[in-house]
């Protein structure tokens, strides 16, 4: 064993949800099947810097051993999807209404992303093809207008 790295990974009574991709590769797999009272030593490698910006650079790709004491094992129980569940979200909401609202929100989000993506592509194409000198006064005026709109939004939201 090497030196302890409390600044990177330590803690008491942490809850770890055993879902692939939530933690560094190998950690979740090493905890599968563990029971309360088990002490597990799990060998992993820190991710490379491309996949993690929160780790110190000198740890990228280095091996590590996590010593984990399992205090408790819980099963996640999902609620039954029915009118009672919907009403727990908002009074008088039925499951059919909730389902419709979620479907509408997902569709709207997908449509918004599509429009945003298309607009970015159009902007990029225009930027690459059109060469125009923009006067400093126009840039300054646009910045002032943008700032005024932003301040108005803040006031409207009650932000001091």
Q: What is the pLDDT of residues 42-58, one digit of tens each?
A: 888 877 765 555 667 77
- Name the DSSP letter for residue 9: S
The token pair at 122 is: 């159009």
User: Hey, how many other C-beta atoms are within 10 angstroms of the C-beta on 3?
Assistant: 5
State pTM to two decimals: 0.46
Torsional sign, CA 46, 49, 51, 54 = positive
User: Hey, how many other C-beta atoms are within 10 angstroms of the C-beta on 49?
Assistant: 13
- The mean per-residue pLDDT over the stretch 13-27 comes to 77
Q: What is the pLDDT of residues 125-147, one digit of tens each?
A: 998 898 888 899 999 999 999 99
The torsion angle over the Cα atoms of residues 38, 42, 46 and 51, rounded to 10 degrees, is -70
CA gap 93, 100 in Å, rounded: 11
């Amino acid at each position: 064993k090497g030196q302890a790295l409390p600044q990177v990974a330590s803690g008491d009574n942490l809850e770890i949800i055993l879902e692939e991709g939530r933690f560094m590769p190998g950690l979740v797999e090493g905890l599968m099947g563990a029971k309360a009272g088990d002490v597990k030593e799990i060998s992993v490698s820190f991710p490379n810097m491309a996949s993690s910006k929160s780790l110190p650079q000198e740890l990228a790709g280095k091996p590590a051993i996590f010593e984990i004491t399992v205090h408790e094992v819980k099963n996640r129980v999902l609620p039954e999807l029915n009118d009672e569940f919907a009403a727990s979200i908002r009074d008088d909401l039925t499951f059919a209404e909730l389902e419709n609202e979620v479907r509408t929100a997902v569709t709207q989000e997908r449509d918004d992303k599509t429009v945003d993506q298309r607009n970015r592509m159009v902007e990029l194409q225009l930027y690459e093809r059109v060469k125009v000198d923009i006067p400093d006064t126009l840039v300054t005026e646009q910045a002032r207008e943008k700032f005024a709109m932003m301040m108005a939004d803040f006031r409207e939201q009650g932000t001091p």
